Amino acid sequence: MEKSVGNRSGFTRGRERDTHRGNTAVVSGYLGYSNVGDDMLLEATVEILHRYGVDRIVLSGAAALSESSFDRAEYLPEIPGSIGGLVRMLLGGAYRRDVVRALFMSDLYVVAGGTVLAGTRLAVLRTWLIRCLIAKLCGCRIVFLGVGVGNLNRCSARLLVRLILALVDRCSIREEDGWGVVNRLLSRNRTVLSSDLVFGLQCPATQQSNPSSTVRQRKMTVAFCLPYFFPAEHSVIGGAADCAAERFRDAIAGFADRLARTGNYEIVFVPFQRPYDEREIDCIEKRIGSPVRRAYLSGRWNEIADQFSGFDAVVAMRYHSLVFASLLGIPALPIEYSDKVTSLVAELGLGRFAVKYYMWQDVRDAVTPELLHEKFGALMASGTQMRQDLATRVAALRTRGERNDALVREAIEMAAVNSR
């Protein structure tokens, strides 16, 4: 998790800073790893902070590596997340002192988005515990915005989550299942149920798609948004995962080729996280006999929405590809590869169209080109009733997402009271 970004424009180590707190936040989280979805999480977070008068934002660590740039933002290395990093910070080093100074001069420490409270890797939970402890010692109010909850089956994972949330002043959980898990963990639960931060971004009505509204004289564009598989590194079932991944790639390639050969569809692969997703696309493209192309999303949300709205349907394995498609009213065939996608599919009411393929667990449908084609056909034939139901569910998630704003406002008010 330690990821230094060095010195970027907008932050100067020797620069004079204000000698008092006020309207400042340090932002961290699973942000900035060349991932389009993470960049939109960061944009949504910055919008909320600006909306409530936070005019100085310090992006910490990986968040500073975002492809997006923000006015009035400064950039810092990551806050130490290990005992060794903490000791090195205390012993000195200019950039480590800058981290402490930034926290000390800030009202808020904001952790935005991502499956932060996941028990699959205890080292990650220990990292967030140490970072929250440092922020608290520096006098910051700690806010977790729209974070996800992962596997907490182990007692040690549940203990670490309890310790983290004991330090957090305000916390919103993005999925109902995860919120229920946290409710059962804590006797005094200070968390609220919200939604993914991207649901808070404004979507111009002109960018919402309705493929059935007009007679199309061109091929329909089907976007495939797939993550890269890391079977050797992440899988708990060893070589079986390699074989399953190969069968899955064959199924995706066969399905894409079948669509392309009808002459009615153009196949587009959309890498969300470069260069990793492109490796997966390379593996699949070699198996397709028909022409395909790639599309790259870039820019701020309005530009991303404009680019994404050019697709007529989406094969959505990437979590935020499903979020984008639902916001823009684009039919999406979900592939559930993790609990977070499964939870989102349930909340969007798309379960009957979903295909289950958990990359790191032995939880999979027998994925074949025929199964994918059957699900896709049912999706495209679902008509206006499904789209109306989806629009209603998205509106509910957007309303729930307003709680993220409320948490930031409350934390700022708490900080203002304490500073008097």
Among 164, 193, 222, the domain boundary falls at 193
Assign residue 252 the CATH number of its domain. 3.40.50.2000
DSSP at 207: G
Burial (0-12, 13-18, 19+ Cβ within 10 Å), 273: middle
404 inside domain = no
The token duo for 59 is 């992006």
Inter-residue contact 103 to 26 (CB < 8 Å):
yes
Cβ distance 58 to 26 under 8 Å?
Answer: yes
183 lies in the same domain as 209: no
Say if 116 falls within a structural domain: yes
**Residue 200, in any domain of the structure:** no
Domain identity same for 33 and 123: yes
Q: What is the DSSP letter of 357?
A: B
Q: Is residue 305 part of a domain?
A: yes
Each residue's pLDDT, cut to its tens digit, for the chain (420 residues) gives 333 333 333 333 333 334 445 588 999 887 767 789 988 998 999 999 999 988 888 888 665 556 555 665 777 777 877 777 777 766 765 556 777 888 888 989 999 988 899 888 888 899 999 999 989 988 999 999 999 998 898 999 999 999 999 999 999 999 998 998 888 888 666 799 999 999 999 886 645 555 544 445 578 999 999 998 755 444 444 455 567 788 889 999 999 999 999 999 999 999 999 888 999 999 999 999 999 999 999 888 999 999 999 999 999 999 999 999 999 999 999 999 888 999 999 999 999 999 998 765 555 668 899 999 999 999 999 988 888 999 999 999 999 999 999 999 998 888 776 655
pLDDT of residue 217: 58
Among 193, 218, 245, the domain-final residue is 193
Burial class (CB in 10 A: 0-12, 13-18, 19+), 13: exposed
Element (H, E) at 369: helix 369-380
What is the bridge-based pairing of β-strands 220-225 and 313-316? Answer: parallel
Q: Measuring CA to CA, how many Å separate 282 from each of 233, 234, 250, 271?
A: 19, 20, 13, 11
Clarify whether residues 216 and 118 are in a common domain: no
Instruction: Tokens 């993790």: give the residue.
Output: 338
Is 178 found in the same domain as 211?
Answer: no
The closest of 63, 194, 55, 74 to 131, measured between CA atoms, is: 63
Residue among 224, 239, 258 at smallest CA distance from 355? 224
Q: Which of 193, 213, 241 is the last residue of a domain?
A: 193
Answer for the pair 39, 196: CB distance below 8 angstroms, yes or no.
no
Cα–Cα separations (whole angstroms), residue 193 to 5, 110, 196? 33, 17, 10
Angle formed by the axes of helices 319-328 and 301-308, to 10°?
A: 80
Q: Indicate whether 188 and 127 sit together in one domain.
A: yes
Domain-embedded: residue 144: yes
Q: Is residue 323 part of a domain?
A: yes
The answer to whether residues 30 and 166 belong to one domain is: yes
- In a domain, residue 6? The reply is no
**Which domain does 124 fall in, by range?**
24-193
**378 contact partners, CB below 8 Å, separation of at least 6:** 352, 353
Neighbours of 189 (CB within 10 A): 14
Q: Are residues 233 and 262 in the same domain?
A: yes
Please give the C-alpha separations between residue 395 and each of 110, 148, 382, in angstroms, as whole numbers.
Answer: 25, 20, 20
Same domain, 347 and 387: yes
The CATH number covering residue 157 comes to 3.40.50.11930
187 and 53 assigned to the same domain: yes
Q: Structurally, how many domains does the chain consist of?
A: 2
CA 367, CA 186: separation in Å to the nearest integer?
Answer: 39
In a domain, 304, yes or no: yes
Which pair of tokens denotes residue 181? 């898990």
pLDDT of residue 417: 66
> Is 312 in contact with 220 (CB distance < 8 Å)?
yes
**Radius of gyration for the alpha carbons in the chain, expressed in angstroms and rounded:** 22
Q: Is 233 in the same domain as 107?
A: no
Instruction: Name the β-bridge partners of 192.
Output: 172
- Secondary structure of 240-304 as H, E, C letters: HHHHHHHHHHHHHHHHHHHHHHCCCEEEEECCCECCHHHHHHHHHHCCCCCCCEECCCCCCHHHH
DSSP-derived secondary structure letter, 195: -
110 and 238 together in one domain: no
DSSP 374-403: HHHHHHHTSHHHHHHHHHHHHHHHHHHHHH
Task: Note whether 186 and 313 are same-domain residues.
Answer: no
3-state SS, 313-356, equals EEEECCHHHHHHHHHHCCCEEEEECCHHHHHHHHHHCCHHHCEE
